[in-house]
Amino acid sequence: MADYGKAIELNPTYSLAYRNRGSAYVLRGELELAIADLDRTIELEPGNSTEYISRGVVRAASGNLTLAVDDYTVAIMADPTSLNAYLNRGSTYDRLGRYAGAVIDYGNALHLAPDSPTLYTNRWASFHAQDDPQRALVDFEKAVSLDPTSAPAWYNLGVVHEDLGDLGKAVENYGQAIILQTDNIDSLINRALVYSKLGEHASAIEDMDRVVEIDPTYAKAYLVRASVHAKLGLPPVPGRP
């Protein structure tokens, strides 16, 4: 930090020194000092959209979400092709509960990067939060087609199909997630619950047995397994939790 300070002392308009010292402050968790340095960088380079994005990220990390949105908006005005500005503003809108704005920003980002599964995933989350499963389904089908090896994508596709009442598809999706990530507890539990809804209680118990093997301390697993046993009219298995 002393070297950055010396560089600034020798050249008070050296924007790179402020920028780099700000990054160092972020690494140390001193976010207000980082913002102060980014303020100075922006004063020196007011047309640099990247600096507004950087300050927005730090402001968001410090909890100043509205000010972060303001920074991303200025960045977009300076550079309407800035993918990071749309992505960061969209995620900040999500945190603020402004899901319609997030959907628009992710849509603009997708125009710039149409093959990004992450962007489809992010927009899915916004649709899901708006209780719009049909549009969420379209995004996750696209995300899975772009990255068929992503266990989280298959899991989320299963969630959407379950929301839509297509339980057979949900089982298939959770199953694919489990194939890709055999210790995927969330997928195992969700599939077990869907199996139970379908009346396939033996399969549900098998999934919950697997969860208990993976994490014997996971309390929800025992609760779900007990409820399935109760539906079958079975007593707890002797010698098992």
Backbone angles phi, psi at 234, to 5 degrees: -100, 145
Burial of 208 by CB count in 10 Å (0-12 exposed, 13-18 middle, 19+ buried)? buried
pLDDT of residue 233: 66
- What's the pLDDT at 239? 43
pLDDT for the residue 215: 93
Q: CA-to-CA distance for 46 and 208, rounded, in angstroms?
A: 57
Three-class SS state of 28: coil
Residues 88, 57: contact at Cβ < 8 Å?
yes
- At 241 the pLDDT is 47
Query: What are the angstrom distances between the C-alpha of 146 and each of 39, 112, 118?
Result: 39, 16, 10
Q: Which pLDDT score, from 0 to 100, does residue 139 have?
A: 86
pLDDT for the residue 197: 92
Secondary element (H or E) of residue 101: helix 99-112
* Residue numbers of the chain with a pLDDT score lower than 50: 238-241
In sequence order, the 6+-apart residues with CB closer than 8 A to the CB of 141 are: 157
Other C-beta atoms within 10 Å of 233: how many?
Answer: 6
Q: What pTM, to 2 d.p., does this model score?
A: 0.75
Sorted by where each starts, the structural domains of the chain and their CATH numbers stand as: 114-181 (1.25.40.10), 193-240 (no CATH)
DSSP H or E run through 73: helix 65-78
Predicted local confidence at residue 90, as pLDDT: 96
- pLDDT, residue 229, reads 79
Closest listed residue to residue 234, CA positions, set 211, 213, 208:
208
**pLDDT, position 238:** 47
Extract the tokens encoding 102.
Answer: 């997030």
